């Protein structure tokens, strides 16, 4: 049993750690990295393409790159000068243009030695192209190592990953669901997704059991992934799942479960207005790859006529795992976040005062004889204060960061009345009675057209029976008056018709929100978080459709929704088309992958769900990460056809 | 798990070679390929920047090995249960300290030199950045090795102080403390130890009183660790300032001499002018008297 526990622990090493370790090993010339405090410095240059950049930037900061000995990091397709006597580490995707550029580099003899690392596996013919160029440039010995890294996915959190950021139009919801897609295009899209998922499982070091719903894009992905895993396992010599990584997968009852779902199961969640910190930041601000870009207007210019326009400073912040406040509060409801920032600020001020007090005590030295005896224990205090100074400064920086971000979010909330929409949508989705009719809200002059469209779409999606024609016309007219584009509605109608044929629309479970009335002031006057007029809504735990499906599959519950899901086990020798799961035990680890796009609301929901269960882990992945604005855009493009 | 396909790559190289030979395509080299590589490499300026950087690194490596080698003896020799083999006298330790310091100074000078030269002939921004970063790495390496050294020193000093504290009695009044404090502070840190030993014999109590607060700040030797490369720099600066001051004093002395000379000359000149004017007026008077 101890071995099994160790195996669980190994399997639960977060995907972020594994990817970081793999990257560090690659940067260390593919030799495992050992920290040596008196080691000689070794320097190198890192060359990446945009894919590589997206993979590295959430995981390693520039300082960490420096620590690994990287003096310069450059884009592959930029102008690069020859730097003699320095080894270069390449981290690129094996595409045609990248290979051409690399061959050009070899011909121009830019660096002393080349360590080539390909993000996903390179084909034999492309490898020969490079060999050709190396021969032509007489640089064969300079190419020191060539590796296939199998890192073709982006890890954003310890338990969340995304497939790609650069070419996300290729695998977007729209690309998969558009009516005029050809078979070959679909194949390419599926291949891209499967390649990334395969790389993910190689890095994770486990072979999953796959379950997916029938008749969707997810099924196609599952079939291909199963085939690819199976081929790789059969090839005993080159199998990627042997060696020390097998430790995690050796005990069959510890294998993870991969649940492939399609976005079409639940279109309401991406449109939903949200109330937790991370999801709000993603919804309202410009948030990519853990980086927030804020535009701050630097105060109002007082001169009336001929006034200069408000200067907007652009600031960007990285929200990283080192940021303890973020890790603790990214799933909390927004008012809680505001309170916590205030608390952190107060505790920081208290510590600052403590240090100042010590400083004044130190000033007594030399004047008072008695002070000398006090010195020894004050010196101890001083040393501890000095050593805690960097910590204090870091804390201050984080508080500033979160104050800025939260203020920006709060402004948006107040301007767009997001709390009202949130409450209303929760009521719609839980089918409780509505105190204000939908038409009233839509015809209300406040509120952006986009928010109203979202609200209406959610209503449309979650009603059991479609509204009558007259009602629909009324709504449409109100929406057009408010300035909304009606294309998304077209698409949703089609979707609804389609899913009605397939199965009953998903219900969202019961939920209640308890508005704590209009909170006039949550903070004291010194703070900026005056939450006047913003309701303090408390979220009650609800399970989104995706979470429910996961729950059923993981706990082996029988449920009409999930009973006819297909079952694939790449390790089984024979055919794979049995719908009868061989494994009767509940799974300890699961990976949920949404084909067609996901968002932070689902992620947060899954995290909350798994918090209640001891010893179980969930990883959430999606082919792309979009917020409601982007999703509406895609829907309207689909509706236009 | 990354897959090493270097062998696959080499195999593809062979395949391409044979294919090209079969097709009769002229490869850029062929038999002379390897020779060509060598030729191509040598006329390239072998980057004396990087070779010198590597030299500095090997120097620092030697220093590190030297320190590590003697570290055990350096520290352990205080335990008198050790055999004669492991003992080190204080003079030997001072010798090590001095050597290490000279080494560190030369290394940091070399780094400074490299820094100034690095940006001279190069126009490319990337190469400049690269070189700056390389020099930063080397400096960091030097700092880490210096840390080894200062840790050792701190332990040694601490032991000396502890020993004195245990063997001596009550503290003296403050006035003598202040004296010794000022005299101690003027002397530089490397010679502190050697001065301390004779000084301790004469004025044991002062050392006790004034090292107590100092010990608090040294505590775990952390402060000293971070300061020793700066100490070396400060020493160098103090030396140069001393030289400058001496030169300036000399100049001023000479200047004073010149001024005195000038004043004297001025005075003599005035006398002659007055004499001349008086003679002229007398001669005029005489001529006037003679003529009338």
Mutate to test the interface with B, among A82, A146, A243 (most CBs of B within 10 A): A146
* Among candidates B33, B125, B140 on the partner chain, residue whose Cβ is nearest the Cβ of A41: B140
Can you spell out the DSSP letters for A269-321? HHH----BHHHHHHHHSEEETTEEEEEEE-------TTPPPPPEEEEEEE--T
Mutate to test the interface with B, among A29, A38, A124, A365 (most CBs of B within 10 A): A38
pTM, entire model: 0.74
**How far is C-alpha B172 from the chain's CA centre?**
38
**How far is C-alpha A91 from the chain's CA centre?**
22
Q: Show which of A445, A471, A501 is a domain's final residue.
A: A501
From the CB of residue A189, how many other CB atoms can be counted at a distance below 10 Å? Answer: 21
For residue A473, the enclosing domain spans: 419-501
Listed ranges A37-41, A181-185, A446-450, A613-617; the one with the highest mean pLDDT = A181-185
Instruction: Look at residue B1 and tell me whether its pLDDT is greater than 50.
Output: yes
Chain A residues whose CB is inside 8 A of the B4 CB are 30, 145-147
| Distance to chain B for A219, nearest Cα, Å | 27
Distance separating alpha carbons of residues A54 and A58, to the nearest angstrom:
7
Q: What token pair was written down for A148?
A: 């296939």
- What 3-state class would DSSP assign to A74? strand
Residues A23 and A114 in one domain: yes
Residues A554 and A605 in one domain: yes
Residues A27 and A102 in one domain: yes
Residues A409 and A429 in one domain: no
Residue carrying the six token digits 């509605």: A489
Residues listed for chain A: 641
Chain B residues whose CB is inside 8 A of the A38 CB are 64, 68, 144-145, 148
Higher pLDDT, residue A359 or A582? A359
Which whole number is the average pLDDT over A544-550?
A: 85
Distance separating alpha carbons of residues B131 and A72, to the nearest angstrom:
10
Kindly state whether residue A3 falls inside one of the protein's structural domains: no
In chain B, pLDDT over 70 holds for what percent of residues? 66
Residues A170 and A130 in one domain: no
**Torsion angle (degrees, nearest 10) of CA A432, A436, A441, A442:** 70
Q: What token pair was written down for A295?
A: 């535009």
Q: What pLDDT is recorded for position B95?
A: 84
| Distance to chain A for B210, nearest Cα, Å | 10
H/E run at residue A45: strand A44-48
Is B4's CB within 8 Å of A25's CB? no
Q: What token pair was written down for A519?
A: 């909170």
Q: What pLDDT is recorded for position B219?
A: 42
Q: What token pair was written down for A600?
A: 């932070």
Q: What would the pLDDT profile of A161-187 be if each residue is shown by its tens digit?
A: 988 777 777 778 888 888 788 888 888
Cβ proximity of A190 and A224 under 8 Å: yes
Instruction: Look at residue A507 and tell me whether its pLDDT is greater than 70.
Output: no
Q: What would the pLDDT profile of B225-254 be if each residue is shown by its tens digit?
A: 445 667 778 888 999 999 999 999 999 999
Instruction: Look at residue A105 and tell me whether its pLDDT is greater than 60.
Output: yes
State the pLDDT confidence band at A34, using cuts at 50, 70 and 90: confident
State the pLDDT confidence band at A300, using cuts at 50, 70 and 90: very low
Which whole number is the average pLDDT over A65-73?
A: 88
Residues 268-287 of B with CB under 8 A from A: none
Residues A31 and A144 in one domain: yes
Residues listed for chain B: 292
Residues A559 and A438 in one domain: no
Which whole number is the average pLDDT over A132-159?
A: 87
Kindly state whether residue A19 falls inside one of the protein's structural domains: yes
Residues A323 and A437 in one domain: no
Q: What is the number of domains present in chain A? A: 4
Angle between helices A277-284 and A369-416 (to 10 degrees): 60
Chain A residues whose CB is inside 8 A of the B44 CB are 84, 109
Which residues on adjacent β-strands are paired with residue A567?
Answer: A211
* Among candidates B50, B57, B219 on the partner chain, residue whose Cβ is nearest the Cβ of A85: B50
Kindly state whether residue A144 falls inside one of the protein's structural domains: yes
Query: Quick one: CA dihedral A432, A435, A437, A441, positive or negative?
Result: negative
Kindly state whether residue A584 falls inside one of the protein's structural domains: yes
Q: What would the pLDDT profile of A305-348 be if each residue is shown by its tens digit?
A: 444 555 567 888 888 888 888 888 888 888 888 888 889 889 98
Residues 186-225 of B with CB under 8 A from A: 212-213, 216-217, 219, 222
Q: What CATH code is carried by the domain that includes residue A322?
A: 3.90.830.10
Residues A293 and A248 in one domain: no
What radius of gyration, in Å, describes the C-alpha atoms of chain B? 36
Instruction: Look at residue B201 and tell me whether its pLDDT is greater than 70.
Output: no
Residues A32 and A139 in one domain: yes
Q: What would the pLDDT profile of B130-168 be if each residue is shown by its tens digit?
A: 888 888 888 888 888 888 888 888 888 888 888 888 887
Kindly state whether residue A198 falls inside one of the protein's structural domains: yes
Closest CA relative to residue A209, chosen from A554, A511, A471, A477: A554
* Among candidates A25, A72, A376 on the partner chain, residue whose Cβ is nearest the Cβ of B130: A72
Q: What would the pLDDT profile of B26-52 be if each residue is shown by its tens digit?
A: 554 444 444 444 444 444 455 578 888
Q: Name every residue whose Cβ is closer than 8 Å to that of residue A373 and which is 6 or more positions away in sequence.
A: none
Q: Taking CA A93 as the corner, what is the angle to CA A242 and CA A17, rounded to the nearest 5 degrees? A: 50
Kindly state whether residue A430 falls inside one of the protein's structural domains: yes
Q: What pLDDT is recorded for position B178?
A: 46
Chain A residues whose CB is inside 8 A of the B212 CB are 372, 376
* Among candidates B44, B141, B216 on the partner chain, residue whose Cβ is nearest the Cβ of A84: B44
- What 3-state class would DSSP assign to A58? coil
Kindly state whether residue A275 falls inside one of the protein's structural domains: no
H/E run at residue A154: strand A154-157
Chain A residues whose CB is inside 8 A of the B64 CB are 38
Residue A198 to residues A52, A185, A261, Cα–Cα distance (Å): 17, 20, 17
Residues A28 and A141 in one domain: yes
Distance separating alpha carbons of residues A459 and A431, to the nearest angstrom:
10
**B130 and chain A in contact, CB less than 8 A:** yes
Closest CA relative to residue B209, chosen from A379, A368, A364, A372: A372
* Among candidates A37, A131, A245 on the partner chain, residue whose Cβ is nearest the Cβ of B13: A131
What mean pLDDT value characterizes chain A?
78
Q: What CATH code is carried by the domain that includes residue A59?
A: 3.40.50.2060
Residues A38 and A118 in one domain: yes
Q: What token pair was written down for A180?
A: 């005029």
Q: Show which of A467, A501, A535 is a domain's final residue.
A: A501
Kindly state whether residue A519 falls inside one of the protein's structural domains: no
Q: What would the pLDDT profile of A202-234 be if each residue is shown by its tens digit?
A: 888 888 888 888 888 888 889 999 998 888 888
Closest CA relative to residue A117, chosen from A140, A101, A94: A94
Q: What CATH code is carried by the domain that includes residue A578?
A: 3.40.50.1910
Residue B236 to residues B113, B140, B232, B243, B259, Cα–Cα distance (Å): 15, 20, 6, 11, 35
Q: What would the pLDDT profile of A511-522 be if each residue is shown by its tens digit?
A: 444 444 333 333
| Alpha helices (H) in chain B, listed in sequence order | 6-23, 33-41, 48-76, 90-118, 125-167, 174-186, 190-202, 204-218, 222-291
């Amino acid at each position: 049993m101890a071995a099994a526990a160790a195996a669980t622990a190994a399997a639960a090493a977060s995907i972020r750690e594994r990817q970081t370790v793999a990257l560090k090993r690659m940067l260390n010339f593919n030799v495992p990295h050992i920290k040596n405090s008196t080691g000689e410095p070794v320097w190198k240059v890192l060359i990446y393409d945009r894919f590589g950049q997206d993979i590295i930037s959430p995981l390693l900061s520039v300082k960490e790159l420096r620590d690994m000995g990287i003096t310069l990091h450059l884009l592959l397709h930029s102008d690069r000068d020859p730097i003699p006597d320095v080894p270069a580490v390449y981290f690129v995707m094996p595409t045609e243009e990248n290979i051409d550029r690399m061959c050009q580099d070899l011909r121009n003899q830019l660096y002393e030695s080349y360590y080539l690392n390909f993000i996903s596996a390179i084909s034999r013919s492309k490898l020969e192209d490079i060999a050709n160029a190396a021969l032509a440039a007489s640089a064969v010995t300079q190419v020191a190592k060539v590796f296939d890294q199998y890192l073709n996915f982006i890890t954003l959190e310890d338990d969340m990953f995304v497939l790609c950021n650069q070419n996300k139009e290729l695998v977007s919801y729209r690309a998969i669901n558009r009516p005029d897609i050809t078979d070959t295009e679909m194949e390419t899209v599926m291949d891209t997704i499967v390649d990334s998922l395969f790389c993910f499982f190689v890095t994770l070091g486990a072979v999953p059991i796959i379950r997916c719903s029938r008749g969707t894009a997810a099924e196609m992905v599952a079939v291909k992934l199963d085939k690819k895993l199976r081929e790789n396992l059969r090839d005993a010599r080159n199998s990627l799942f042997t060696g020390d990584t097998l430790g995690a997968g050796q005990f069959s009852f510890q294998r993870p479960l991969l649940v492939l779902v399609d976005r079409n199961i639940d279109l309401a969640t991406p449109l939903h207005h949200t109330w937790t910190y991370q999801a709000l930041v993603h919804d309202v601000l410009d948030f990519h790859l853990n980086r927030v870009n804020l535009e701050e207007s630097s105060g109002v210019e007082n001169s009336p006529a001929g006034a200069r326009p408000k200067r907007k400073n652009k600031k960007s912040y990285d929200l990283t795992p080192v940021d303890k406040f973020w890790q603790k509060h990214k799933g909390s409801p927004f008012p809680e976040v505001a309170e916590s920032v205030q608390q952190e600020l107060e505790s920081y001020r208290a510590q600052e005062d403590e240090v100042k007090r010590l400083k004044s005590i130190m000033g007594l030295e030399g004047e008072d004889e008695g002070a000398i005896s006090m010195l020894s224990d004050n010196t101890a205090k001083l040393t501890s204060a000095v050593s805690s100074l960097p910590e204090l400064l870091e804390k201050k920086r984080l508080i500033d960061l979160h104050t800025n971000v939260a203020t920006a979010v709060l402004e948006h909330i107040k301007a767009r009345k997001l709390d009202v929409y949130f409450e209303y949508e929760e009521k719609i989705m839980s089918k409780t009675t509505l105190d204000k009719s939908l038409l009233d809200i839509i015809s209300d002059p406040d509120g952006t057209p986009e928010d109203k469209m979202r609200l209406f779409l959610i209503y449309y999606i979650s009603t059991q029976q479609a509204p009558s024609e007259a009602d629909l016309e009324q709504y449409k007219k109100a929406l057009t008056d408010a300035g909304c584009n009606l294309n998304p509605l077209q698409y949703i109608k089609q979707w609804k018709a389609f899913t009605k044929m397939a199965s009953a629309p998903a219900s969202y479970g019961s939920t209640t929100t308890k508005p704590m009335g209009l909170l006039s002031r949550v903070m004291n006057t010194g703070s900026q978080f005056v939450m006047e007029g913003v309701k303090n809504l408390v979220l009650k735990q609800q399970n989104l459709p995706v979470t429910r499906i996961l729950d059923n599959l993981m706990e082996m519950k029988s449920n009409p929704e999930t009973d006819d899901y297909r079952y694939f086990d790449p390790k089984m020798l024979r055919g794979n088309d049995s719908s009868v799961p061989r494994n009767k035990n509940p799974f300890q680890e699961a990976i949920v992958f949404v084909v067609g796009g996901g968002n932070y609301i689902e992620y947060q929901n899954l995290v909350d769900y798994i918090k209640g269960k001891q010893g179980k882990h969930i990883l959430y992945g999606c082919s792309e990460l979009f917020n409601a604005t982007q999703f509406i855009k895609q829907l309207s493009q689909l509706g236009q056809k | 798990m990354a897959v090493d396909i270097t062998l696959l790559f080499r195999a593809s190289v062979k395949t391409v070679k044979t294919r090209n030979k079969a097709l009769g395509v002229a490869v850029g080299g062929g038999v002379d390929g390897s020779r060509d590589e060598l030729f191509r490499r040598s006329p390239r300026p072998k980057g004396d920047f990087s070779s010198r950087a590597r030299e500095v690194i090997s120097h620092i490596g030697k220093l590190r090995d030297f320190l590590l080698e003697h570290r055990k003896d350096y520290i352990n020799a205080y335990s008198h249960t050790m055999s004669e083999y492991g003992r080190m006298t204080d003079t030997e330790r001072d010798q090590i300290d001095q050597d290490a310091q000279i080494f560190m100074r030369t290394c940091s000078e070399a780094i400074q030199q490299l820094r100034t030269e690095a940006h001279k002939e190069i126009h490319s921004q990337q190469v400049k950045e690269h070189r700056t970063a390389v020099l930063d790495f080397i400096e960091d390496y030097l700092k880490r090795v210096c840390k080894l050294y200062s840790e050792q020193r701190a332990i040694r000093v601490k032991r000396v102080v502890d020993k004195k504290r245990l063997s001596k009695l009550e503290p003296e009044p403050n006035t003598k403390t202040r004296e010794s404090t000022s005299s101690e502070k003027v002397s530089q840190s490397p010679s502190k130890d050697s001065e301390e030993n004779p000084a301790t014999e004469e004025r044991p109590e002062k050392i006790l009183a004034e090292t107590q607060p100092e010990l608090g700040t040294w505590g775990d030797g952390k402060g000293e660790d971070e300061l020793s490369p700066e100490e070396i720099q400060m020493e160098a600066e103090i030396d140069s300032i001393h030289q400058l001051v001496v030169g300036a004093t000399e100049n001023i002395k000479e200047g004073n001499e010149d001024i005195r000379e000038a004043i004297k000359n001025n005075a003599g000149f005035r006398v002659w002018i007055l004499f001349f004017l008086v003679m002229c007026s007398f001669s005029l008077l005489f001529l006037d008297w003679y003529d009338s």
